[in-house]
């Protein structure tokens, strides 16, 4: 399923019997997951590798929580909660209510079903399994055909400097509701992190395209690119690199992207996102009417707002067509 | 509340303004918790200290689970599940269902609300808090006036030797449904464990009585007595030591007590339980019609089966009266 009507990329490689060139999609949480879902609907499972940001990961009440991996996993499994924008649709909150009653921290909400994933992952991580192996096992158990891999099996933690000093990402994003102005960003642990070997292998094997999903560049995509060797591996992989703008008419569809641009002294615009990625980009997919002045890579215009599944599929097709046009 | 009509023990000490002599009750899970609940209804909160067996504790899916502390806590808080005999009454199972679907171990059932206690306790233990401080904080938050303390803040783990070798207690008790014959018992870690300081202090301060609840002697009470210094502290505390038989007419009210007596080569009887405790006992409370032949300590007869709250309160009063008679 999903193969009919998709662009014909990769057909030659399959005919030749060699490894299938894949689409490598770099993604954060909700916005990226929408396009990843669209890609998963138009590509055979073995032709899609989603690389998840783990800079948002954190330790909470003794559990290792990986919000972007989880959003991708739940979204691709059809279990996501579109109302909340995180967690599972079929959720209950008995654990959370009781935790609060017992004096536990309750600013980060963990549903009863969601919790099973966190408990199991934390237990397996403590037992020495790499995050990638656990992530891969869980997506298989949830019936997801496409691969989802963390950018690295080593911990990277995004930290933000506000006017009151450095704070952890989830503290800022959830506990403080992304309210404090952000003056600087760092990815703690990134310098010592190694790219996840499966991601590196896919890039070295010659992918069909690298897609940068419409995620927040500062906190979703740049942590991935900050893993030493990742940016270089993408730059030399020989495939077109196509980003999708997360900014439409100067606004982010969801989340603090536009706000962060302003606080960091930049105008929130599709062009500003393209500028962040710089020479890495070969193509840039952006909203029909937005200003493309000064954008260096080849611009492709389409509807980028993803409200329905059809929107996601249509954008996925447009991105793949853009990549094909750039080959 | 609960003070009216109780025996007048300790009144002199209270009048004198010194520390209030307490009832120190040694307890395992369900049977012991029933008597502990009865005691909590007839004693002022500051006059009851329940010492919980931690030999049943274990690590499961990365969580430290303390079944006897939990049963005591839920029972004294009025949250216990009388149908299951463990866990909470107002429970749901979304976590457990999801854990099983994700390939996690599901032989030990953890309810959504129960889980909050395990997650919080595990997190606090990892942060360096002693089990006793966490247990004390949680019982306060659940509105329990009486103190509940673990026998030790150091880990002790009951292990059983069956015909197939040594296994962990919960593996035998829950996963194997207490089916394999038990040939020997050990308390791993006991030799290096220290009595919980608050327990030792209460014994040294001169309690009104030490009550050995109607729990399984092998796996609920003997782990407590195996903590170096505990048996001696009880023996020299100057207060009467009164045990309640968990065996009625040769049968255990619940659990594998009678079965274990047989497998360990002893006849399951009230007398056999008294013999296990030996010279530690001053008094022994047992069922009306049961055979007291050969029981060394002073025997008190009453109805020991606790089905209703009135039964629990009546047995608690009988035990306190027995202790008073022995002073």
Burial class (CB in 10 A: 0-12, 13-18, 19+), A265: exposed
The whole-angstrom distance between A210's CA and the closest CA on chain B is 30
Inspect the interface and report whether the beta carbons of A112 and B112 lie closer than 8 Å. Answer: yes
What letter does residue A195 receive in the DSSP assignment? B
Distance (Å, whole) CA B118 – CA A37: 35
On whether the CB atoms of residues A101 and A110 are closer than 8 A, the answer is: no
Q: What is the 3-state secondary structure (H, E, C) of B267-303?
A: CCCHHHHHHHHHHHCCEEEEECCCCCCCCCCEEEEEC
Tell me what pLDDT residue B19 has.
65
Question: Is B191 exposed, middle or buried (CB count within 10 Å of its CB: 0-12, 13-18, 19+)?
Answer: exposed
**Alpha carbon of B99: minimum distance to chain A alpha carbons (Å):** 5
- Domain B11-57+145-326 adopts which CATH fold? Rossmann fold (3.40.50)
The β-bridge partners of A52 are A27, A150
Give domain limits for chain B: 11-57+145-326
- 3-state per-residue secondary structure call for B116-135: HHHHHHHHHHHCCCCHHHHH
Neighbours of B128 (CB within 10 A): 6
User: What 3-state class would DSSP assign to B34?
Assistant: helix
Inter-chain Cβ pairs, chain A and chain B, closer than 8 A = 95
pLDDT at residue A18 in the model: 57
- Tell me the C-alpha distance between A286 and A30, whole Å: 18
Question: Best interface-test mutation with B: which of A70, A79, A116 has the largest number of B CBs within 10 A?
Answer: A116
CA gyration radius for chain B?
19
| Residue numbers of chain B with a pLDDT score lower than 70 | 1-19
Q: What is the pLDDT along chain A (327 residues), one digit of tens a residue?
A: 333 334 444 444 444 555 678 999 999 998 999 999 999 999 999 999 999 999 999 999 999 999 999 999 999 999 999 888 889 999 999 999 999 999 999 999 999 999 999 999 999 999 999 999 999 999 999 999 999 999 999 999 999 999 999 999 989 988 888 899 999 999 999 999 999 999 999 999 999 999 999 999 999 999 999 999 999 999 999 999 999 999 999 888 878 888 898 999 898 999 999 999 999 999 999 999 999 999 999 999 999 999 999 999 999 999 999 999 998
A97 neighbourhood in chain B, CB within 8 Å = 113
First-to-last CA distance in chain B? 25
Q: What's residue B12's pLDDT? A: 41
pLDDT value at residue B125: 98
pLDDT of residue A217: 95
Q: What is the CATH number of domain A23-326?
A: 3.40.50.10680
Q: Identify whether the C-beta of residue A316 lies closer than 8 Å to the C-beta of residue A25.
A: no
For B60-90, how does the pLDDT look when each residue is reduced to its tens digit (9 = 90+)?
Answer: 999 999 999 999 999 999 999 988 888 999 9
Q: Which among B62, B92, B94 has CB closest to A123?
A: B62
CA distances from A91 to A83, B10, B92, B114, B118 (A): 12, 52, 12, 17, 20
Which among A18, A13, A37, A9 has a CA at the least distance from the CA of A148?
A37
Measured CB to CB, residues of chain B less than 8 Å from chain A are: 61-63, 91-92, 94-99, 101-104, 111-113, 115-117, 119-120, 122-123, 126, 137-138, 141-142
Write the DSSP string, A58-109: EEETTEEE-HHHHHHHHHHTT-B-TTTSSSBSS---HHHHHHHHTT---SS-
> ipTM score here?
0.89
pLDDT for residue A82? 86
Measured between alpha carbons, how far is residue B103 from residues A115, A142, B96, B107 in Å?
Answer: 14, 10, 11, 12
Q: How far apart are the first and last CA of chain A?
A: 25
How close is the nearest chain B Cα to the Cα of A115, in Å? Answer: 7
Q: Spell out the SS3 assignment of A100-167.
A: HHCCCCCCCCCCHHHHHHHHHHHHHHHCCCCHHHHHHHHHHHCCCCCEEEECECCCCEEEEEECCEEE
Distance CA B42, CA B25 (A): 14
Minimum distance, in Å, between the CA of residue B140 and any CA atom of chain A: 9
CB B49 within 8 A of CB B25: yes
Residues A289 and A249: beta-carbon distance below 8 Å:
yes
Residue from the list B62, B95, B141 with its beta carbon closest to the beta carbon of A95: B95
């Amino acid at each position: 399923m999903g193969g009919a009507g998709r662009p014909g990329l990769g057909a030659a490689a399959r005919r030749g019997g060699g490894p299938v060139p894949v689409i490598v999609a770099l993604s954060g949480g909700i916005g990226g997951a929408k396009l990843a879902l669209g890609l998963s609907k138009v590509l055979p499972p073995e032709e899609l590798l989603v690389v998840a940001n783990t800079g948002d990961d954190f330790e909470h009440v003794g559990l290792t929580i990986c919000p972007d991996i989880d959003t991708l996993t739940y979204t691709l499994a059809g279990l996501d909660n579109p109302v909340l924008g995180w967690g599972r649709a079929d959720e209950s909150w008995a654990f959370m209510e009781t935790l609060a009653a017992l004096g536990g921290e309750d600013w980060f909400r963990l549903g009863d079903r969601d919790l099973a994933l966190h408990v199991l992952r934390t237990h397996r991580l403590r037992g020495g399994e790499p995050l990638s192996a656990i992530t891969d096992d869980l997506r298989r158990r949830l019936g997801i055909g496409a691969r989802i891999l963390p950018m690295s099996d080593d911990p990277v933690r995004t930290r933000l400097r506000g006017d009151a000093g450095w704070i952890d990402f989830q503290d800022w994003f959830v506990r403080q509701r992304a309210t404090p102005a952000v003056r600087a960003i760092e990815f703690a642990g990134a310098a010592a992190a190694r790219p996840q070997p499966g991601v590196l292998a896919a890039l070295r094997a010659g992918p069909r395209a690298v897609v940068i999903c419409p995620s927040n560049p500062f906190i979703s995509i740049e942590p991935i690119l900050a893993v030493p060797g990742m940016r270089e591996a993408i730059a030399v992989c020989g495939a077109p690199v196509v980003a999708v703008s997360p900014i439409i008419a100067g606004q982010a569809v969801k989340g603090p992207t536009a706000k962060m641009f302003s606080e960091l002294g930049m105008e929130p615009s599709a062009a500003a996102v393209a500028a962040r990625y710089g020479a890495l980009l070969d193509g840039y997919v952006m909203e029909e009417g937005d200003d493309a002045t000064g954008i260096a890579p080849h611009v492709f215009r389409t509807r980028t707002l993803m409200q329905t599944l059809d929107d996601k599929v249509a954008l996925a097709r447009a991105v793949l067509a853009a990549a094909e046009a750039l080959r």
